[in-house]
Amino acid sequence: MRHRSAGILSILVFAALLAGQKGAEIPRALRARLAALLPDAKAFGGKPGGEAAYYSSDLYKYIDGGAEEYHRRGFVALIRREYKTASAVIAVDVYDMGLAANALAISQVERSPDCRSVDIGAGGYAREGMLNFTQGGYFVTLKAFSDAGGTPLALEKAARSISARIGPGTK
């Protein structure tokens, strides 16, 4: 009897330790809010290419070496999803940075001098295969992977779909 109790206790302790490692758990309401911001794939001729991924305190698993900067600037959570079009795979990342000032600050850190301005959200910018913008407390990045090169029109259409979903006057 004593061995069975010790075994059960060991299993319970192990389960509790595993549960404690889930520091990246994101509340259901936050997941739903982020998922609602993803673009309408039909708006840019795409199809979802798999399940959405969420990150929070475990952002380092996605941004190797850069997560600290995001956390320092108020990072709350990230949703990432890929879409497939006829000519490219488009990766969409929507970062909830909590406040518009935080989103703008991280956007400025990420912007390289060779980017051109685009009229999407606040401070939108793009270069070949990439388009980023902020809107409210969100920092949005879109990347296109294509053998054809260039920035596909689908990237801009996806960005405009996200911008419309975020809407004016958020955070």
Rounded Cα–Cα distance for residues 45 and 157 (Å): 9
Q: Average pLDDT in the 50-74 region?
A: 90
Residue 6 has pLDDT above 50, yes or no: no
Please give the mean pLDDT across all residues of the chain: 83
Rounded Cα–Cα distance for residues 147 and 121 (Å): 28
Backbone angles phi, psi at 81, to 5 degrees: -150, 145
Per residue in 64-85, pLDDT tens? 788 999 999 999 999 999 999 8
Which comes out higher in pLDDT, residue 40 or 22? 40
- The structure's pTM equals 0.82
What is the residue extent of each domain of the chain? 25-166
Which comes out higher in pLDDT, residue 139 or 1? 139
Which pLDDT does position 158 carry in this prediction?
Answer: 94
Which pLDDT does position 63 carry in this prediction?
Answer: 87
Burial tier of 95 (Cβ tally within 10 Å: 0-12, 13-18, 19+): buried
**CATH class of the structural domain 25-166:** alpha beta
Residue with tokens 């606040």: 122
Least confident span in 9-13, 37-41, 58-62 = 9-13
What band does 19 get if pLDDT is binned at 50, 70 and 90?
A: very low
Pair 78, 59: CB distance under 8 Å = yes
Tally of residues, the chain: 171
Backbone angles phi, psi at 31, to 5 degrees: -60, -45
Rounded Cα–Cα distance for residues 151 and 22 (Å): 37
- Nearest by Cα to 166 from 126, 134, 141, 142: 134
